[in-house]
Amino acid sequence: MDFSFCIGILFAILKEAALRSDLMFAAPGDRVTLPCPVARGSSCTSVSWTRADPLFALINPGQVMDPNVTLLSDCSLLIKHMDHSYPAVYICENGKKTWNVELQFLNITKNQENPVELQCYINNHRGLSPCTEPGLRVMWVAEDNSPLRGQRFQIHNVSNCFFKLHFHWQKQTDHLRRWRCQVQVNGSVKATASYLTTAADGKEEVFAAVVIAQMDAERHNATLSCVLTCACDPCDSDFNLTWSEADNTFINSDLIVRNRSLLIKFWIPVASLGRGDVVCSALREGVPVVTKKWCYNKSSPLRALAWIAVPIVILCCVSVVYYRKRRRKDSD
């Protein structure tokens, strides 16, 4: 038998095997769609979905056995609300081909023995996942999806699929704060779980920055002041303010702390402002939590004349049309 023909047969077998399984992840409350590529180009009337270990039929041809699932038009299986009872191996078949999907569950819980510790982990249908998938990792992330950092945190990895977040101390403003954990495969985010903490006598943080602009008498220079009011007095040391133009040659003041407020100033020649935005960002633990834009628009005389001319031209056109209609009516 020709060697190249054998290689072709082997490649086809390996390709077919690769198309028969998939690994997916979901977090509590997610809507999850499990694909069924074996049914492409054919009707879904002969497609069935079964959950393995223990064996349970979810979709029989023409019949839905679980109210939390739906068969979509492309024969995919939609799980409407993910919870801890749904990690499993799911089998899609159409009588000729079979496709397996393993769905794993990303979850966050509080350590009952240590109230200042959160645990993020992946469960499969047998319990804690052994995490053997190449490139798979679990990580705690901040609001901008960067790794969580801060002096009061300690992150301990039990395994690639089990990470603990320990707080050296808690703050009043941890009340109703949402902590996020992600599962990634080769750097691509597959699922994100969150956990809302509460604190006795806590304070919920709502972020709003204010930018105040002042011009000198000749309107040659502008002073921009960015102010953040904190929930606690004094402001926590992990807050900071920055300007988007801080890297250029213009003057940027040091951070000023005044009781419950943070203030930073920015001095810049008006001629250098152009028409772009200058942005003030409030950072918590190095991550932006709110931004405030300030845009300088210096109206030019030509633009002002153009805006005045537009209604005049419209008025003239209307007058001409009215005058012509009036003359035509009089002539009749």
**pLDDT (tens digit per residue) in 102-116:** 999 999 999 888 878
Do the domain assignments include residue 257? yes
Query: How far is it, in rounded angstroms, from Cα 117 to Cα 70?
Result: 37
In this structure, what DSSP letter does residue 306 have? Answer: H
Query: How far is it, in rounded angstroms, from Cα 174 to Cα 205?
Result: 8
Residues 175 and 217 in one domain: no
End-to-end CA distance of the chain: 100
Average pLDDT over residues 201-227: 80
CATH code assigned at 257: 2.60.40.10
Do the domain assignments include residue 82? yes
Last residue of a domain, one of 197, 220, 243: 197
Residues 99 and 113 in one domain: no
**233, HSE (Cβ side, Cα atoms, 13 Å):** 3
Residues 80 and 51 in one domain: yes
- Per the structure, the count of domains in the chain is 3
Is the CA virtual torsion 48, 52, 54, 58 positive or negative?
negative
Q: How far is CA 58 from CA 69, 92, 269, in A?
A: 8, 10, 68
Do the domain assignments include residue 1? no
Query: How far is it, in rounded angstroms, from Cα 228 to Cα 126?
Result: 49
Do the domain assignments include residue 226? yes
Residues 228-258: b if buried by 16+ CB within 10 A, e if exposed: bebbeeebbeebbbbbbbeeeebebeeeeee
**pLDDT (tens digit per residue) in 119-149:** 999 998 777 777 788 889 999 999 888 999 8
Do the domain assignments include residue 130? yes
Residues 112 and 191 in one domain: yes
Q: How far is CA 214 from CA 82, 93, 219, in A?
A: 53, 69, 9
Residues 139 and 72 in one domain: no
**pLDDT (tens digit per residue) in 265-318:** 888 777 776 556 788 888 888 888 888 887 766 554 434 344 444 555 555 565
Residues 56 and 96 in one domain: yes
Q: Which of 54, 95, 94 is nearest to 71 (CA)?
A: 94
Exposure of 127 by Cβ count < 10 A (0-12 exposed, 13-18 middle, 19+ buried)?
Answer: exposed
Return the CA Rg of the chain.
31
Taking 90 as the threshold, does the pLDDT of residue 236 lie above it? no
Query: How far is it, in rounded angstroms, from Cα 249 to Cα 259?
Result: 30
Structural domain range at position 83:
21-105
Taking 50 as the threshold, does the pLDDT of residue 10 lie above it? no
Do the domain assignments include residue 305? no
Residue with tokens 């002096």: 151
Average pLDDT over residues 21-40: 91
Do the domain assignments include residue 291? yes
Can you name the residues that pair with 182 across neighbouring β-strands?
139, 192
**pLDDT (tens digit per residue) in 86-106:** 999 999 998 888 999 999 999
In this structure, what DSSP letter does residue 231 have? Answer: S
At residue 128, what is the residue type? L
Residues 71 and 149 in one domain: no
Last residue of a domain, one of 176, 197, 218: 197
Residues 96 and 127 in one domain: no
Residues in the chain: 332
Residues 78 and 155 in one domain: no
- 8 A C-beta contact, residue 122 and residue 104: yes
Last residue of a domain, one of 197, 217, 251: 197
